[in-house]
Chains A and B, each alone.
Chain A
Amino acid sequence: MWLMTLRIALRALKRNKLRSFLTMLGIIIGVGAVIAMVAIGEGAKALVRAQIATLGTNVLVILPGTATQGGVRTGSGGVRTLVDSDARAIMDEVPSVALASPTIRRTEQVVAGNLNWATVIQGVAPEIQQIRDWQVGEEGRFINQADVDNAGKVALIGQTVANNIFGNEDPIDGVIRIRKIPFRVIGVLGAKGQTGHGTDQDDVVMIPYTTMQKRIMGITHVQGIVVSAVSAEKTQEAQVQITALLRQRHRIPPDQDDDFFVRNLSDIAEAASNSARVMAILLGSIASVSLFVGGIGIMNIMLVSVTERTREIGIRMAVGARKKDIMLQFIVEAVVMAAIGGALGILLGISSSSVINRMMQWPVLIRADIIGVALLVSGGVGVFFGFYPAQKAANLDPIDALRYE
């Protein structure tokens, strides 16, 4: 019975191929667009997750904040509230913090022999090696405390920098110049590859932060402090404790705002997932509008079809079809149309997201459950919008229907 009904429905749709296709188009486009957009959204989310994974879940970043000085607020980053002793104090006094390192960054031209390369110079403390899990090539070593204490002119270079200014030569004990100051290369950093954003993590030169302060930038503050908590679970606690400590160290009265930010990577993740939620609501409304429009198209064509097939309905009733048999026949037809539309839409969505992936280099992620939901929803659209036409068919009077020309 079911199989038979399905066959009848398929045949009825095949009879009007173009019309059926055009009717399905609304559903095809709606479902296709949703699948593609969800794939892009999920891809972006996965990217954020991957980024967080490369940074580590127990890492906190402290940045200078706005400081109110005589009623004048200076913008974020324009203040010099953080100093290296803050980093040391955090490491020594906050129990849930394992390590801390000041950071100072600036893009500079690096010269070796007759080659030069623009890259990011990072001033760091030895602790950064463990915090960010940097490896150093066998013959080299990382920056040590003595380098920091005497602002040593030593540098570690990333893989990309090594390739670009040393080529095949061994960079160890080679000399690079930053602002004409010669630095001795003490090691090559292990390759980390790109971040989720596509930033090359190996395009970097690391020097002691004291050297950065005194010899390159001429400053006494630091741009940020990178902290690792003793565990991922302790990051919240560390955040609270760091805030308390820094407020005390910076002598901020209770009625005033912090002059720094403590950024937790899970905050960033939350922000990302918030924007993903907004995106999802947006997509959901686009989907419902297009499915609604598609559904109205199906309803319209089903009404036409019921009118066209009035006599057929009369014949079926005369030979013993009950109301519910007629009802079922037309609902199945609407559902089949919607489901085929949904399936084609899924194919469209998958292929267009892979095209987007290839052409625009955007990460995409197609989720199986979304595909299932898309099929279910389009089937549901068929039931919902097929119901009224089917009911109209089932309520026809057999005598009138048989006489219909």
Chain B
Amino acid sequence: MVQVNELIRVRDLHKIYRMGDVEVPALCGINLDIQRGEFVAIMGASGSGKSTFMNILGCLDRPTTGAYYLDGQEVGSLSQDAWANIRNRKIGFVFQGFNLLPRTSALENVELPMMYNGLHSGGRHQRALEALSSVGLGERVHHTPNQLSGGQQQRVAIARALVNHPALVLADEPTGNLDTKTSAEIMELFQDLNLKEGLTIVLVTHEADVAAYAQRQIHFRDGLVISDQAVRPRVQRLQG
């Protein structure tokens, strides 16, 4: 058994895409440990393998070789249904393009993950409302995405990511479609969730001022980790 406090442990992770007879190496041996409660920013040039790495962390894609332990469990080789279950209960995703269901209210978007874990509808409602108010959207629960600003849409997406109380939130360029001011608001929200709730967050960004909200910055280049530094002490928080 792997040490309990490590939420993520990645060992010699390789990912090679095959396009016809051409092999494109995207990850070339990543070793990384992320503790519970860490707020990690992954940086690097376009094509350096950040998204590929996030997809593997999110149980959306299989590594070609190497091991990935999530919460002490080797997950790289689990079945698709087991992955779906892990994505549902342990991981929350925030995307650059928000990825909300169109023509569907904020509330129902947030309820979506609970549809797949058998929670009855009364409980779903309550929890979705709580998640929305925790991201500062208590008022706009019945608005559809096209009636919300980009920042508000991203808050809905964050509420959706949080609603099943995941162990890990993965955010691939969450501020990529937002202006500077709104980016700052969203990053403050992430920081808040990390500091107050002890939420583990792994976030991909190009921008240094976005990465500055994290405690730890990891740089990728050509599928390898080239630097890994703590910029701020990790939040100390009671386990539970």
Taking Cβ atoms with an 8 Å cutoff, the residues of A that contact B are 1, 3-4, 15, 311-312, 314-325, 398-399, 402
Contact = CB atoms under 8 A, between A and B. Distances in A.
A311 B116 contact: no
Interface string B76-119: 00001100110111000101000111010000000011011110
Nearest to A8: B115
B97 to A, nearest CB: 9
B212 interface: no
Interface in B137-151: none
A195 B17 CA distance: 82
A399 B60 contact: yes
Contacts of A3: 121
Given A312-B101, A315-B101, A399-B61, A321 B81 contact: no
Contact of A320 (B88, B95, B100): B88
Given A316-B112, A319-B113, A319-B160, A399 B55 contact: yes
Given A312-B101, A320-B113, A325-B116, 18 more contacts: A1-B115, A1-B118, A3-B121, A311-B99, A315-B99, A318-B58, A319-B88, A319-B113, A319-B160, A320-B84, A320-B164, A321-B84, A321-B115, A322-B80, A322-B84, A323-B84, A399-B60, A399-B61
Contacts of B89: 320
Interface residues of B, number: 26
A348 B87 CA distance: 47
Most chain A CB within a 10 A radius of its CB, from B60, B84, B85, B112: B84
B116 A321 contact: yes
Interface of B: 55, 58, 60-61, 80-81, 84-85, 87-89, 93, 95, 99-101, 103, 112-113, 115-118, 121, 160, 164
Nearest to B100: A315
22 contacts: A15-B103, A311-B99, A312-B101, A315-B101, A315-B112, A316-B112, A317-B87, A319-B88, A319-B93, A319-B112, A320-B84, A320-B85, A320-B87, A320-B89, A320-B117, A320-B164, A321-B115, A322-B116, A323-B80, A323-B84, A399-B55, A399-B61
Contacts of A325: 84, 116
A315 B118 CA distance: 18
B156 to A, nearest CB: 12
B93 A4 contact: no
A317 B60 CA distance: 9
A317 B81 CA distance: 10
B71 to A, nearest CB: 16
Contacts of A320: 84-85, 87-89, 113, 116-117, 164
Contacts of A322: 80-81, 84-85, 116
B95 A402 contact: yes
Contacts of A321: 84, 115-116
A88 B116 CA distance: 86
B220 to A, nearest CB: 18
B39 to A, nearest CB: 21
